[in-house]
Structure 1
């Protein structure tokens, strides 16, 4: 299996070197490494030029991360595509393990590997207790994957995914969409194209958290995810009945999550509107009961209300 590694880059000179070095250190090397600089204004272009013998790199005017990812997919030459953001890291056995997953389940559309998280601009020290675990892989058909993605979305991060180039191109010229959470959109699309594999062990990725980023703001993340689901609603309405039902359950769950965060932000009227929206469109009795209970709780005096999830992740 030949793998193209794709890295979107924008004003990432402080972290890109570490990311590239983690890609170069693979025990099973990539067949192609492409970096696309999305109009950086820092030292990113100079840093990329210092690696010109080891990578392919291009530069374009700033157009956003979705446009950059789409251009990278179009440029890739190999059958599998491994994404990594310009601040995340791979353990040296990451691509070796991705190839093992492919050999175990060659018909899957995508392969995800578990990761850990850290903050700051420093290096990450890999923990033996995580990286030396035996390989444990789960194989998901479409509906079970949607259930897992709905309940544990943090397991499925694009920097630690290897995706079939055929699947990405079957999605059209824009497998990533602007003005929404483009990586979340892709994950919701994947089960429409085939099974998904997730390796819960070992943990071979390191996600670098950045204060003030989109992912650190629960409210903005929830708003964007609802936009994703609205965009995909028509696609899932024509899917098989099990997949359609799981999508509906997920949609109502996300509406309730959004309402909870709105309550935390002191935006009760908007929260009530989201919960009424859920009640107005649901035919699932469990979803109806959950939304009605949450709506009732939201009208209680503030001291009697539950503790709502904070807007920002710590």
Structure 2
């Protein structure tokens, strides 16, 4: 019999943790264990979780916060089941999530990574975006097919972290990498196909919450752009390590690395932020040193900035949309 763990890494998640917990507890196919791994919350997160202490296991890291990626990896170590699903403290699982995964496992018993798409919800739990590609069927993907599907289907991806379940042995050879930065979840999904085929249950069986206190939502736009520029450059630097990547994946990373590095520089110019301009130029130079060719608009913007100075360019672009 297959066993399933739902692990919930927490850190100051009092606003939504009870909803996440209830979605894990109310599965039609009950989880074999539900684990909360708290990274030293300073709000009421632990008090809320204690209300369910007879139904869940709770661990606390007094040395946290240690960062969201370390929080994920730490939570995984507490799980004892064969298959592990990470549920973020602000997201939800549909009641039939584990039931649907177990059915898929009977069909594909050798597969070690499963996913289902998710709806996007706001802070009030209201649906703001639903996947438009769900055919309610079960699909098997090779590692290469999975990367392509992840990058080309959905808005922005075919799935997110809620609604994913992975065999514990995969985490031994493919942990989440802190150095992958803000897209450490994407990085994990890109690498997992090297070790197993992947099955997608194309039904929306989870909900991903968009709100201002999330890891993405609390970041100012400039800081987020800077992080993403570095993260996509990291992907390019480690591209050759992944045997399921192809030229289309490479172009995807190139496009995003240029996009965010260039926007670092442009926003730096618009805001007269020397640090951001310097970081943008540095990252664009890194890409140039990797023999990546910029689009003409990037070349022209940099050229005009050098010829006329950033003060003149700032007057020219004004409040125009980037």
Q: Same fold (TM over 0.5)?
A: yes
In structure 2, relative to structure 1, the CA distance for the partners of 1:188 and 1:153 (3 Å cut) is: farther
2:290 to 257, 281, 284: 281
Distance in structure 2 (CA, Å) of the matches to 1:73 and 1:275: 37
- 2:86 aligned partner: 83
- 2:57 aligned partner: 56
Distance in structure 1 (CA, Å) of the matches to 2:320 and 2:181: 30
In structure 2, relative to structure 1, the CA distance for the partners of 1:97 and 1:279 (3 Å cut) is: same
Which shows bigger deviation, 100-109 or 9-18?
100-109
Given that 2:141 and 2:199 are in contact with CA atoms closer than 8 Å, whether structure 1 keeps it comes out as yes
Distance apart, 1:30 and its partner CA: 0.9
- 1:44 aligned partner: 45
In structure 2, relative to structure 1, the CA distance for the partners of 1:57 and 1:70 (3 Å cut) is: same
Give the SS at the match of 1:192: coil
TM-score (norm 2): 0.77
Q: How does 1:197-236 map to 2 (within 5 A)?
A: 197-199=199-201, 201-211=202-212, 213-216=214-217, 219-229=222-232, 231=234, 236=239
Which shows bigger deviation, 225-234 or 49-58?
225-234
2:117 to 107, 114, 119: 114
> Residues 4-56 of structure 1: CA distance to partner in whole angstroms, max 9, x if unpaired?
00001111122111111111111111111010111111122222221111101
Distance in structure 1 (CA, Å) of the matches to 2:282 and 2:298: 9
Q: How does 1:290-309 map to 2 (within 5 A)?
A: 291-296=294-299, 298-299=301-302, 302=316, 307-308=321-322
Given that 1:83 and 1:161 are in contact with CA atoms closer than 8 Å, whether structure 2 keeps it comes out as yes
TM-score (norm 1): 0.78
Distance apart, 1:221 and its partner CA: 4.3
> Relative contact order: is structure 1 or structure 2 higher (C-alpha 8 Å, sep ≥ 6)?
1
- 2:14 aligned partner: 13
Asked if residue 185 in structure 1 is aligned to residue 187 in structure 2, the reply is yes
Q: How many residues align?
A: 295
In structure 2, relative to structure 1, the CA distance for the partners of 1:204 and 1:260 (3 Å cut) is: farther
Given that 1:238 and 1:244 are in contact with CA atoms closer than 8 Å, whether structure 2 keeps it comes out as no
Distance apart, 1:167 and its partner CA: 0.5
In structure 2, relative to structure 1, the CA distance for the partners of 1:189 and 1:224 (3 Å cut) is: farther
Distance in structure 2 (CA, Å) of the matches to 1:212 and 1:100: 35
Distance apart, 1:68 and its partner CA: 2.2
Given that 1:118 and 1:207 are in contact with CA atoms closer than 8 Å, whether structure 2 keeps it comes out as yes
Distance apart, 1:109 and its partner CA: 3.7
> Residues 265-294 of structure 1: CA distance to partner in whole angstroms, max 9, x if unpaired?
244665455445444424xxxx74xx3324
Distance in structure 2 (CA, Å) of the matches to 1:126 and 1:101: 28
Distance apart, 1:296 and its partner CA: 3.7
Distance in structure 1 (CA, Å) of the matches to 2:68 and 2:242: 29
In structure 2, relative to structure 1, the CA distance for the partners of 1:155 and 1:294 (3 Å cut) is: farther
Give the SS at the match of 1:243: coil
- 1:100 aligned partner: 103
Give the SS at the match of 1:180: helix
Structure 1 unaligned residues grouped into runs of 5+: 309-314
In structure 2, relative to structure 1, the CA distance for the partners of 1:91 and 1:206 (3 Å cut) is: same
Given that 1:141 and 1:191 are in contact with CA atoms closer than 8 Å, whether structure 2 keeps it comes out as yes
Give the SS at the match of 2:193: helix
Structure 2 unaligned residues grouped into runs of 5+: 270-276, 305-312
